[in-house]
Structure 1
């Protein structure tokens, strides 16, 4: 039966494929294909892990003390029974044979199938056995992890031209898990929770794959292996579509691919407005390897290197200075002399670490983590970690143009403390004989207080970067990761537009660099408005550069600027912008 699930559109385009249901706690389980020649070895690996767990449980059972509760032995018997059940190992084996899934993926897929069956049982005792099944799976996954030396060489989707595309369905995907997701085989994803600018959505756009979040019920309604269409433009998920609907979306998919190829031809075209204003189009990246995509998209630099992703998925260990240095150096060298702006670690809120040295960063310890000890507040509270990161960044400056960006600044006292720390770091590097060059220092404008006091901040920094995602969140008092209030997240709100316009104007008047690195910079809908405000430096996900460049090439910056007062004075800026900027764009195009 075909049905639709509605959510929030966060990444445009159409994806068609089979659903892969993954529990949130197992998103980071390895997902890759195995070659036909590796199918039997992969099955053997799964069975060895199963047998290891069986042996472990049998030993536990024999070692139970005489006074142990009877329930403990009974529980171990249940786990042993599940491990020997053909529906468990036989079903997982079938995923390996039929779909070429690796053992961990096959095990997780079979778990989702069996868990759904347990949920539908009428007997309460049998329904509760789902928890036992999950515990057994976790044990087998741990056993598989101990066999890392026997893992076969992963295959890619290209090795299976006839295989169906795969779409991930989960309750949620944590930012740390998204690192694994970026290297995976999935062509799109659907989550129950999240908002348009949650970090899950941001990474989806950076990968240029369709995604719908905030569906609430998708992971419960969609079954493993269902055929699914993700309409990333409308925020609709169509499950088991009819042949007619499927063909319509396949046509839209082909049209989207043609449009992407057409925009790709603009890669080497300089971003210059019709009236001759040169525009910088920089890229936002999360890992050094992302620099390759930035170059391929025609970026003129990296406007935001989110260094916090180097700190995630590390089993609680922070990266060393040397490891960070090598990562920053790799990104700087990959950009071949173009500027690389590295933001110091921005953790907390929707990006917690798996191990935190300060308890307040944990969601369970803070009522509102978005307002807590995060970003620069955490860095200043952990001076040793902060100095270590700064040393790595400054050392990387010897290999190219590096700029340092500090997130979530709200107080002059913070700026003074940062400057003092930078001086100490420079002295440490000099004493140790490490080379470094001048690094421009900038702060992010993402708290209204910073926007209001910007003239004071500009006396102490070289540039500012406006993070529109958090600026909107804090201005409107909205948790941008909460789908319950996602409809109130409004980049067109007059207060937001006034803060952005004022920040750009004040930075330019002071002769300081200003850029926008939030989601507004990569949304073509806002390109003309930001140009009208005087913005000349945009930073966005590499995949968004071609569409924004097309808008810039068709724009007349002077004519757009003439429309700005009417937009800022309007009680409906979005409608006024559509009328005023559209007219200016048409007039500019007519002159050329």
Structure 2
């Protein structure tokens, strides 16, 4: 077989080598036929039984989650269980069987196709990718109905006959990924998905090489084909030559040796060769993630995404976490960091991460009611969170970060509610840090262009580069047809980043980066040359970034930086960035 290369969206780091294992969608095996009137209720019962069995499967997977499983997996299993219970999935197909006499599989696929078409009309990238969750839940039901379980075989070696396995599929659900926990599974390739898909999120959490959004990879790749995943480049090499295979095996070995070497830097401060300290912090989702942050040697938590506490609520008595529940979580994170600062972002939900309970229409585009806009429209919900964060600040250094601010009135209203929460706690005799720093998330171009309004009223800034880039360039990162236009080195982005740090420095207000750019080693020297002194990232990326800082001499970067900022030629910017790597 002739070798060929496929290009997709890289969503994790590393190299995987193995044989292809194709997961065939159960929907392709669906038969379409009409059932007789006297068989309709039996067909309804067949579908109900299949749905009940999938509920049991999800509960069993949840119960068997190992303690070291990524926290996102539990959240995604909760989402799938909720979808399975939704009348649009569990009841509507039964009506189709009764009214149209479709067989169970046909009725389910028809309903899911209709729901999928509705999701295709949604502008927001995160919400549109939730279509995949509905399809994945339907896949599990269809597998029960058709008996096509598509179990993944286990393998122990990497020899010619029992190679490590790379799963190739249209898409992979979080529940299905639980069968890939053993060493046989080394990577995966999917036709669908983007940076925000569950496949991407879980792959990063597990540290597994993956490339998504490949379009038709599952049709071009055949069972047992040898594959190489270069997930740094977003490339999959099919049927590689012996020479290419040997080259990538050597690169794999180098990466493993490098990882072991980097682990020794845990207690080493991140200081450049000319004596400038760079604080490297960790992004976390749940309190228990602080263990990984400490193990990686993080100087603190630069972003605690508090919305995960609100979204994992199936099985809880309360639809939303109470003040005491939130306080316990925030306190656990603060004490877990053992005196290192924890920055807690207030609730960032809305269009892309809807709550289960809300009086608001949840299918808003990314420009709708979300983040601080949502919180200010629900002041009681916001006040409950503010009180919980303030209470936790009595147990260690805490910073409060407000997302998606753009207007002066939003800043004033947020600060007024914080003042009110402090007054309530004082009246009740409850301890808190009266001088808790309050900062703004800079992720909207309007905020970046009106920073004087922010620095006068707030204590620090933190840049969410993912949204800042997406809003500035009007690019849907999850859409693989335009994902190539998402560019963190676009001249407009570089100008905004330089302007933000310059304004913050003049105002003597701290500024950090907690978005994707902070964890991209290609950009480390560029960012610290601009003047950024705090970078927050997934804990797994921290050792590599620390090594880059330790090998940098800032005085050598100023001339290349000036040339980069003067250029508006994308190719020249990349050439100059490469030159900066040599100069550092």
- Normalized against structure 2, the TM-score is what? 0.72
Which residue, 354, 357, 368 being the options, matches 1:372? 368
Report the counterpart of residue 341 of structure 1 in structure 2. Answer: 343
Is residue 517–residue 540 contact of structure 1 (8 Å, CA) maintained in 2?
yes
Once residues 339 and 516 of structure 2 are traced to their aligned partners in structure 1, the CA distance between those partners, rounded to angstroms, is 26
SS at match of 2:361: helix
Q: Is 1:396–2:392 an aligned residue pair?
A: yes
| Structure 1 residues 23 and 405, CA gap change in structure 2 (3 angstroms) | farther
Of 446-455 and 416-425, deviating more is 416-425
Once residues 577 and 143 of structure 2 are traced to their aligned partners in structure 1, the CA distance between those partners, rounded to angstroms, is 62
Report the counterpart of residue 436 of structure 1 in structure 2. Answer: 432
| Structure 1 residues 182 and 426, CA gap change in structure 2 (3 angstroms) | farther
SS at match of 2:489: coil
Shift of 1:287: 1.6
Report the counterpart of residue 481 of structure 1 in structure 2. Answer: 478
Report the counterpart of residue 277 of structure 1 in structure 2. Answer: 276
Which residue, 501, 504, 509 being the options, matches 2:506? 509
Once residues 104 and 371 of structure 2 are traced to their aligned partners in structure 1, the CA distance between those partners, rounded to angstroms, is 46
Spell out the pairing of 1:75-474 with structure 2 (5 A cutoff): 75=43, 128=106, 131=109, 138=141, 171=170, 187-196=186-195, 201=200, 204-218=203-217, 229-237=228-236, 249-315=248-314, 317-353=319-355, 355-362=356-363, 366=364, 369-437=365-433, 438-474=435-471
Once residues 392 and 179 of structure 1 are traced to their aligned partners in structure 2, the CA distance between those partners, rounded to angstroms, is 36
Is residue 168–residue 188 contact of structure 2 (8 Å, CA) maintained in 1?
yes
Once residues 578 and 137 of structure 1 are traced to their aligned partners in structure 2, the CA distance between those partners, rounded to angstroms, is 48
| Structure 1 residues 134 and 431, CA gap change in structure 2 (3 angstroms) | closer
Is residue 168–residue 189 contact of structure 1 (8 Å, CA) maintained in 2?
yes
Once residues 407 and 250 of structure 1 are traced to their aligned partners in structure 2, the CA distance between those partners, rounded to angstroms, is 43
- Normalized against structure 1, the TM-score is what? 0.71
Report the counterpart of residue 40 of structure 2 in structure 1. Answer: 72
Once residues 275 and 198 of structure 2 are traced to their aligned partners in structure 1, the CA distance between those partners, rounded to angstroms, is 35
Deviations 1:544-590 (A, max 9, x none): 1122112211222233234333211112256346437735x6556xx
Once residues 537 and 445 of structure 2 are traced to their aligned partners in structure 1, the CA distance between those partners, rounded to angstroms, is 22
Of 192-201 and 274-283, deviating more is 192-201
Is residue 44–residue 104 contact of structure 2 (8 Å, CA) maintained in 1?
no
Is residue 448–residue 496 contact of structure 2 (8 Å, CA) maintained in 1?
yes
Shift of 1:80: 11
Query: Which has the larger Rg?
Result: 1
Shift of 1:9: 1.6
Deviations 1:132-178 (A, max 9, x none): 99879649989xxxxxxxxxxxxxx99x899986656565579xx59
Once residues 448 and 175 of structure 2 are traced to their aligned partners in structure 1, the CA distance between those partners, rounded to angstroms, is 31
Shift of 1:250: 4.1
SS at match of 1:515: strand
- State how many pairs are aligned: 485
Report the counterpart of residue 11 of structure 2 in structure 1. Answer: 10
| Structure 1 residues 259 and 24, CA gap change in structure 2 (3 angstroms) | farther
| Structure 1 residues 431 and 180, CA gap change in structure 2 (3 angstroms) | farther
Deviations 1:54-104 (A, max 9, x none): xxxxxxxxxxxxxx9435146258769999xxxxx9xxxxxxxxxxxxxxx
| Structure 1 residues 409 and 79, CA gap change in structure 2 (3 angstroms) | closer
SS at match of 1:265: helix
Deviations 1:368-395 (A, max 9, x none): x211111111111222221111122111
Superposition RMSD on alpha carbons, in Å? 4.2
Is residue 50–residue 144 contact of structure 2 (8 Å, CA) maintained in 1?
no
SS at match of 1:305: strand
Is residue 171–residue 192 contact of structure 2 (8 Å, CA) maintained in 1?
yes
Shift of 1:489: 0.6
Deviations 1:293-345 (A, max 9, x none): 11111111111111112222423932222222222111111111001111112
Once residues 24 and 8 of structure 2 are traced to their aligned partners in structure 1, the CA distance between those partners, rounded to angstroms, is 18
Once residues 430 and 167 of structure 1 are traced to their aligned partners in structure 2, the CA distance between those partners, rounded to angstroms, is 57
Once residues 512 and 222 of structure 1 are traced to their aligned partners in structure 2, the CA distance between those partners, rounded to angstroms, is 53
Report the counterpart of residue 536 of structure 1 in structure 2. Answer: 533
